Amino acid sequence: MSILGFSVRESVQARGTEMPVDELREALKQGPVMMGPLDMGKLVYNPNSPNLGGSDHYVVALNMRGDEICLHDPAGFPNVFLTLDKLEEAWKSEFPWSSGVYRRWWSPERIEHPDLEEINRRAFTWFKSTLTEQTHDIAAQEGRTGASAILHKAAQVRAGAIDGNEWAHYVYFALPVGARRAHDYGLFFKTIHPDLSALKYGQSRQFGECQSRLVSRNWEAAATIMVALAETEAMIEASILKME
């Protein structure tokens, strides 16, 4: 929002607190409220929710009616209803990459009018700082990131060493979402950074192929395309870090 020139109100609760129903109701009087992360496995209006447990998601709340809330879900479910108790189950879920629970945003207000060149400059700065911070934080925890993490997973896949829950997470959520996001970034970079655009389009195709191989449980083919994904990721990271 700040990259585009908007301020927005944001709030989050401490873990273990009650869902802020009254605050949410008041915020909805001012307009839609973005909420998340939520656990997709708890969003029961989605018939595929049993396969999506542990996947983070964001929705927009539109209004409350009694003990139900009306949501716009960008996963293909506009104007759906969820009971408040089911909303609480999904919204109180904790994810390692998000501090606190019941996070929400509302009342966006334009405070600047950046032109496209400034928006792109801010975006480049954000991409670079985010990549640097993530790499540093994970390295500090002695974890893997980027190409190294993908290669590690490729070795596990080649050996068939992933359980059913992880398999479902990849084929139903992580790889399809990765393919879509990579394609969108390819479009974003098309005129302002053609080389990076080509890498992101290529990455999107690799995500899609990897998903296809995993669905058929062709571990060898899936691992091979994961190795190629790792090579592409390394080139993408190098390109981002060279941005000015």
Range(s) of the domain holding residue 185: 116-241
Domain assignment present for residue 75? The answer is: yes
Q: Which residues of the chain have pLDDT under 50?
A: none
pLDDT, position 140: 57
Local structure of residue 145 (DSSP, 8 states) = -
Pairing state of beta strands 33-39 and 101-110?
antiparallel
Among 80, 110, 140, give the residue marking a domain's end. Answer: 110
Both 72 and 128 in a single domain?
Answer: no
Both 190 and 229 in a single domain?
Answer: yes
Among 61, 89, 110, give the residue marking a domain's end. Answer: 110
pLDDT in tens, 99-125: 899 999 999 999 999 999 999 999 999
The model's pTM is 0.84
Both 231 and 123 in a single domain?
Answer: yes
Please tell me the distance from the alpha carbon of residue 202 to that of residue 2, in angstroms, as a whole number. Answer: 29
Both 155 and 42 in a single domain?
Answer: no
Please tell me the total count of domains within the chain: 2
Please tell me the distance from the alpha carbon of residue 116 to that of residue 63, in angstroms, as a whole number. Answer: 33
Both 222 and 155 in a single domain?
Answer: yes
pLDDT, position 142: 61
Q: What are phi and psi of 169, to 5 degrees?
A: -60, -40
Cα dist. 125→62, 77, 136, 180 in Å?
A: 33, 33, 16, 23
Both 156 and 233 in a single domain?
Answer: yes
Both 151 and 195 in a single domain?
Answer: yes
pLDDT, position 175: 96
Domain assignment present for residue 1? The answer is: no
